[in-house]
Amino acid sequence: MKKCKIMVSSLIGIMTRSVSCKANGDMMFVEQLPMSIKLFVQKNFPNLAIAYAEKKKSTQGKGYVVNLNNGTELYFNVSGSWNMIDCKSDALPVSLIPTKVFDVVDRRFTNAQFVKIVKRNQGCEIVMSNGVVLRFDMNGEVA
């Protein structure tokens, strides 16, 4: 009976505090994320919750990976600015797509959604739900 109580209380503790369980990043509580990241998620994904978060170290530098409860993955640099947002099959929030890029793509691909955006040194890369990958320069022109 005592073991059962310990297991139940452990499970409740895990469920009430979102943590990362992946081996290639440092486990962290959602509350430990920089405030800018938490505000970004609240503003752009108001109906979703953070499932878990990781502090990562890679060849591109340090940063954070945030996974939302619908599978969306958000990548941030160490200062809290986003680098990549992958909504898988869900649509990206329109607020994250530069206006000029949105206008160009929306006219050409009326039946496809934006599902992924990646910031690049010289612009950004957009992935559409139909598999089309488009690259744009800093001025929003197709590269």
- At 24, the pLDDT band (50, 70, 90 cuts) reads low
Find the helix or strand (DSSP H, E) in which 68 lies: strand 61-68
Tokens of 66: 């945030």
Query: Does 35 score more than 90 pLDDT?
Result: yes
Decide: pTM greater than 0.85.
no
Give the pLDDT confidence score for residue 63 in this predicted structure. Answer: 95
Higher pLDDT, 4 or 39: 39
Query: Does 102 score more than 80 pLDDT?
Result: yes
Chain segment 62-97, per-residue pLDDT in tens? 899 999 999 999 999 999 999 999 999 899 999 999
Structural contact between residues 25 and 54, judged by C-beta atoms closer than 8 angstroms: yes
Query: Does 18 score more than 50 pLDDT?
Result: no
Tokens 């009430």 appear where?
16
Give the pLDDT confidence score for residue 105 in this predicted structure. Answer: 87
H-type helices in the chain, by residue range? Answer: 2-16, 35-44, 99-108
Query: Does 56 score more than 50 pLDDT?
Result: yes
